[in-house]
Chains A and B, each alone.
Chain A
Amino acid sequence: MSGATLALAPVAAIGRLAIFAVRGVSHVFRPPYYPREFGQALMQIGWYSLPVVALTALFTGGALALQIYAGGSRFNASSVVPSIVAIGMVRELGPVLGGLMVAARVASSIAAEIGTMKVTEQIDALVTLSTNPMKYLVAPRLLAAVIVVPALVAVGDSIGIWGGYLVGVYHLDFNAVDYLKNTVNYLESWDVVSGLIKGAVFGFIVALAGCYHGMQSGRGAQGVGRATKSAVQAAAVAILATDFLLTALFFTS
């Protein structure tokens, strides 16, 4: 490959991804719709991710409370634990860790499933049966992820705050009522909403990475393996980069 083609390769890849994304989204809004596939995608992305997202949030909330308490006590500010746990969870850690866990679970499984369908000619078979793979496989997953990941983030936020509460009340001797009061009083609705918006964007990224790499999968088991790996990598990096951009957009005036 010459220098010019080498430099153009990433641009071309981004172009292909963008075209894929636009096509996928456009099929979300055009019939025929596949409610069954949409329901299955909701289950696959949302319901089955609940345990791992919940556990991640619980431990993160607990650890956050410990850290903020230790850090805060250096300048006699350990009373900020409840509000900082809440704000940290809903603005940043809930959506980012939730998104990363979903990326690990879902981007990989979508890429493996669609990649396997590609290499076993099931995608070709769909086409010959007059069914558009973008509509049947990609659109339902994109839509489901955008809807269900914010819900996961909301659950994760609550459980994370609860984890902080458990540590705060049972380990750090906070008063239970005060802890809850502090949590609620200093939390603004934009803190929560901005986190949910991040969740929707991360959900889109995860489903897009899974579908795109699955559809691009090379031949054979090796191709599917590579597609799975690329999907998780791409989703994770994109989530962190987008998180930075969204945070800058939302919270710097």
Chain B
Amino acid sequence: MIELTDVHKAFGSKRVLRGVNLTIPTGTSMVIIGGSGTGKSVTLKCILGLVTPDRGKITLDGQDVTKGDRDAFLARFGMLFQGAALFDSLSVWQNVAFRLQRGAARRPKAEAREIAIEKLRRVGLTPEVADLFPAELSGGMQKRVGLARAIAADPEIIFFDEPTTGLDPIMAGVINELIREIVTEMGATAMTITHDMTSVRAIADNVAMLHDGQIKWTGPVAEMDDSSDPYLDQFIHGRAEGPIAAVR
């Protein structure tokens, strides 16, 4: 279980997170929605320790994430970055197999490559892309390679930062299904950021809406439509009028 309690984060004078409280039970899929620039990516980075919160507490299974063995902690996670963040000096399969080629999860090269190609297939990429370099791929393909890298070592907890942006509707469907599968079949805990309401419905067990640096609404996806929360309503129906200003 991941638990955020009263998490604050400011960049300079810009207060991005202003007391985020959120609980993600083990083995469930949480989707975070919210306007552009509200701090969704920052929230994920706070949990991973890539960004240090100014205040508040984040725990994983009751353990403070800033304490304890960092390597062991990170080994439980997989993360897809919003911009894919592939290593441009490494080929596609070496990117995917990065964790499998060093450290505790180290495997022989042939085996690592095989696993990488299998993961690429799961995100809808053919083995031919394995030896290309990230710069030779389209944006959507890079995103999917990033996804394959995030799931390569079968982590317990996976963060997906906008997994389907830049993908065609069919490929988006494939990815939604994949994320769902990872949660239901492998029992992983997932946190996904998305702007795509179809994805939300396909992926989520629970939904949280971030606005003004706080979680404005959270609950099971089934209750999302009749929440009677004005912020959530405006957001999921994409209306210009409502409590959320269109210019931010």
Give A contacts to B, CB under 8 Å. 32, 34, 40, 116-117, 120-122, 124-131
Contact = CB atoms under 8 A, between A and B. Distances in A.
A130 B74 contact: yes
B81 A131 contact: no
B79 interface: yes
A130 B89 CA distance: 18
Nearest 5 pairs of A and B residues by beta carbon: A121-B85, A125-B85, A128-B79, A130-B74, A121-B81
A122 B85 contact: yes
A122 B86 contact: yes
Contacts of B87: 117, 122, 125-126
Interface in B43-97: 45, 48-50, 71, 74-75, 77-79, 81-83, 85-89
Measured as residues with beta carbon below 8 angstroms from the partner, the interface class of chain B is: 20 to 34
B99 interface: yes
B68 to A, nearest CB: 14
Given A124-B45, A124-B50, A125-B79, A130 B103 contact: yes
Contact of B50 (A32, A40, A120, A127): A127
B98 interface: yes
Contacts of B103: 32, 130-131
A35 to B, nearest CB: 11
Given A130-B71, A130-B74, A130-B75, A124 B102 contact: no
Given A124-B45, A124-B50, A125-B79, A130 B85 contact: no
Contact of A120 (B77, B78, B83, B99): B83
B86 A127 contact: no
Nearest to A127: B50
Interface string B15-59: 000000000000000000000000000000100111000000000
Q: Which of A40, A122, A124, A130 has the most CB of B within 10 A?
A: A130
Contacts of A124: 45, 50, 81, 85
Nearest to B70: A130
Contacts of B50: 124, 127-128
B113 to A, nearest CB: 15
Nearest to B71: A130
Contact of A32 (B88, B98, B102): B102
A96 B112 CA distance: 45
Interface in B210-244: none
Nearest to A122: B85
Contacts of B88: 116, 122
A129 B85 contact: no
